[in-house]
Amino acid sequence: MDADQCLEEPLIGQEVHVETSNTEESPESAEDEERSQDDAILNPWKNHNVRLSFLLCIVSGIADSIWGSVVLSGFLFALGKAMGKTKEENTLVGLAEMVQGLTMLIFALPIGLLADKTGKARVVRWGGALLLLTVGITLWALLVINREASESQKAADQSYYILLVALGLWGICGGILNGPSQALFSDSIPKGRRSELLTYLYSSYLISAAVGPLVGIIMLSQSNEEDWSLKEIFPVFFVGVLLEIPAGVLCFFFSEKYTVPEPDDEPRPVDESIETLSIDNPEQTETANVVPSLLNGYGLTKAAVPYVLFFSSLVVSLGSGASVKYFPLFFKEIGLRSEVVQGIFLTVPVSISFFSFVSQKISQSMGRVETSVMFNVCGVLMLYFMTWLSHDIQEGDTSRRILIVGVYLLRTGIMNCPYPLLESILMDAVPSNQRARWKSLESIASFGWTGSALLGGILSDSHSYEYTFAITATMQLVGGLMLIPIQHLVEREQVEPISDEDVADETRTDLEEPLLTS
């Protein structure tokens, strides 16, 4: 996963205090319950939704990491051989991934709008029910191509097409878990604490995702089947999908009443002393010494921040999607065994988590946008370097293989670590009653992770993995640099106090500021 990972993914007028209609309940009991809930507002670690989100991320991280990365790519690749399409394996992998991305693309925004209108928690519960159904269909696809039927081309065809349906449903589930679910998580955190909590949430998913490759290593090392075969991969895939069931159950326990009203229910992602920069106001331009004069012509306002984040994420994700599912197959091509590849992906979450905390600390002094751009450029340069290293690698060149693996681990950690920073910028930039739709738009952007996988497969079949990786690096660089125009609009995080009036206020406002100055 470039970040194969959760990785990840909001109701108007949400209540914070618990109001009791039971006249027999003592005033002391009601006061204790309200005090406990107010403590959860001031300390997000005590918030019900926050704790539940962490638990959901851990459970999902374990399950997803077992079947959703190396195993899924390897299974689809082997399934292509069983279907008799030995020259189109990468294309078949890409097609399956594209189906998942397309369903996310089609349903993500309607899901977000529905969540903003009817309630984020309600939509998350619907997502839990859909997830359980999707688990059943995925298991059906696996049972069709069981150990005895693995040599049957007809069974392989049936399994592949059922799996296409299942992956389409996984795309919808991903849009819900990475959209309304994470928007509700952000609603439950006071402003100024979001990048911190999002970093911990992201890291909890990543660290738990290390369990999957570990399970894979243990199960694959005990197998006597042919390396990278359906018979070898089947049991690992089956166990991983079964472990998705607890994640679906957890979705039923989210609640709107634990959300936190903000001190000023206006989106204020920028320093109030900085207004829009325009070439029509040279005096203002001179005071904003952090912004190169080249950017003044954009005339962007703070209302444009979420739009810039969306398009930047879209370009980066489209680039990533062309390569992310082919890294395991690339390592297979250079001669690494399946358990060794699982070991690599066991280390990837640790690398991303480590650099996520590093980037969060750096952003406190440098700024969130500046830090994100810096890590993006470093990650891109390392992918170019890895592509150069893998050119014409010889069969016995063990030292170069080790260097390639090391560069890949560093590059993946550096490239993916800014996610919590960008997420916190987005959540600060939009009001609560718009967060679900913006998180869903972000899911549409992540369509590129899977939607461009088909193109990546075609390029890998017709050229090489290295050729595809070079295209990925170029698109990631372009997407990262797109953040520069909003650098002057995003302030450094600081915790804002929450007054009693803020807790009582349940109103939400929309963005009314124009995107550009006239």
Reading phi first (left if > 0) and then psi (alpha if -120 to 50, else beta), residue 493 is in beta
| Arithmetic mean of pLDDT over the chain | 76
309 assigned to some structural domain: yes
18 assigned to some structural domain: no
DSSP string, 330-387: HHHHTT--HHHHHHHHHHHHHHHHHHHHHHHHHHHHH-HHHHHHHHHHHHHHHHHHHH
pLDDT tens readout for residues 297-308: 356 777 888 889
23 assigned to some structural domain: no
Q: State the total domains in the chain.
A: 1
pLDDT tens readout for residues 421-430: 888 888 888 8
Q: Is the CB of residue 338 less than 8 Å from the CB of residue 227?
A: yes
Q: Which of 333, 339, 318 is nearest to 89 (CA)?
A: 333
pLDDT tens readout for residues 231-270: 778 888 898 999 999 999 999 999 888 888 765 544 444 4
What percent of the chain is predicted at pLDDT more than 70?
Answer: 73
Q: Is the pLDDT of residue 18 over 50?
A: no
439 assigned to some structural domain: yes
CA 213 to chain centre: 19
**Band of pLDDT at residue 171, cut at 50, 70 and 90:** confident
Report the pLDDT averaged over residues 6-29.
42
Can you read off the two tokens belonging to residue 189?
A: 């955190």
**Band of pLDDT at residue 371, cut at 50, 70 and 90:** very high
Q: Is the pLDDT of residue 63 over 80?
A: yes
d(CA 406, CA 391): 16
Predicted pLDDT of residue 279: 36
Please give the C-alpha separations between residue 389 and each of 160, 346, 394, in angstroms, as whole numbers.
35, 22, 11
Can you read off the two tokens belonging to residue 303?
A: 């209302």
512 assigned to some structural domain: no
**Pairwise pLDDT comparison (329 vs 491), residue with the higher score:** 329
DSSP string, 178-239: TTHHHHHHHHTS-TTSHHHHHHHHHHHHHHHHTHHHHHHHHHHHT--SPTT-HHHHHHHHHH
**Pairwise pLDDT comparison (50 vs 222), residue with the higher score:** 50
Report the pLDDT averaged over residues 361-380.
92
Give the lowest-confidence range in 321-325, 472-476, 503-507. Answer: 503-507
Predicted pLDDT of residue 90: 67
Specify the 3-state DSSP secondary structure of 41: helix
CATH of the domain at 94: 1.20.1250.20
Predicted pLDDT of residue 381: 95
Report the pLDDT averaged over residues 78-101.
74
Predicted pLDDT of residue 375: 95
pLDDT tens readout for residues 433-458: 888 888 777 766 655 555 576 777 77
**Band of pLDDT at residue 10, cut at 50, 70 and 90:** very low
**Band of pLDDT at residue 182, cut at 50, 70 and 90:** confident
Report the pLDDT averaged over residues 137-144.
91
Q: Is the CB of residue 413 less than 8 Å from the CB of residue 352?
A: yes
Q: Is the CB of residue 231 less than 8 Å from the CB of residue 364?
A: no
241 assigned to some structural domain: yes
345 assigned to some structural domain: yes
d(CA 70, CA 212): 10
Half-sphere exposure of 210 (CA within 13 A, CB side): 14
Q: Is the pLDDT of residue 58 over 70?
A: yes
**Band of pLDDT at residue 494, cut at 50, 70 and 90:** low
Give the lowest-confidence range in 416-420, 492-496, 514-518. Answer: 514-518
Q: Is the pLDDT of residue 131 over 60?
A: yes
Radius of gyration of the chain (CA): 24
What percent of the chain is predicted at pLDDT more than 90?
Answer: 19
Predicted pLDDT of residue 253: 94
The domain of 111 spans 34-262+269-504
d(CA 127, CA 118): 14
